[in-house]
Amino acid sequence: MMKIAVILASTRPGRTGEAVARWVMDNAVTPGDADYELVDLDDHTLPDLDEPVPPAAGLYAAPHTLAWAEVVGRFDGYVFVTPEYNHSFPGKLKNALDRVWAEWNNKAAGFVSYGADGRVRAVEALRPVCATLRIADVGPAVALTARDDWDGFGGPFTPRDFQQQNLAGVLDAAVSWSTALSTIRNTSDRS
């Protein structure tokens, strides 16, 4: 069974991302589909990249990097839950992605983005980063807007009905692609 991390990218106080991540987790419970685990970046101490050697070398030295490599490495795929900040995704997520290398390789990722307006730009900024890390990003994505998927700006999270179908598409694709890429991961492990 595939192990999929739902990575909550926002670490801002009062973040709305927690409600979004809970919604993803609540809808990711299809029996036999995959094992899902919430990975909250706020729970991990990841200072600005402080490794003396580029991560692609795999020679991690800092204890927090070694711990993060273990977290990232135990999953077959990911669903990134990210806000959009200034037409991109949070710096904390970029730092988490840049910190390790091989642990991301040959896995799949889906995206759930949210924001006041245009939230899809965070995903579009993430796609080339994922490609460079050899993460296959799936096409379906969920794009939530503060105006339409919350009960007014700052109100409770109330995603529109069709968002549930969008999320199902993201989860299905992330599991399917993670499963397909397991052959490559298993071959790479034996080399």
- CATH code assigned at 100: 3.40.50.360
What is the per-residue pLDDT across 88-106, written as a single tens digit (0 to 9) for each?
999 999 999 999 999 999 9
More confident residue, 90 or 33: 90
Backbone φ and ψ of 161, nearest 5°: -55, -40
Whole-number average pLDDT of the chain = 93
pLDDT at 190 over 50: no
Confidence of residue 146 (pLDDT cuts 50, 70, 90): confident
CA dist 26 and 28 (Å) reads 6
Reference 9, options 40, 36, 34, 35; nearest CA is: 40
CA dist 82 and 80 (Å) reads 6
Confidence of residue 153 (pLDDT cuts 50, 70, 90): low
More confident residue, 29 or 41: 41
CA atoms within 13 A on the CB side of 41: 24
Backbone φ and ψ of 135, nearest 5°: -100, 125
- Structural domain including 58 reads 2-190
Task: Extract the tokens encoding 54.
Answer: 């580029």
Report how many domains make up the chain.
1
Which pLDDT score is estimated for 186? 79
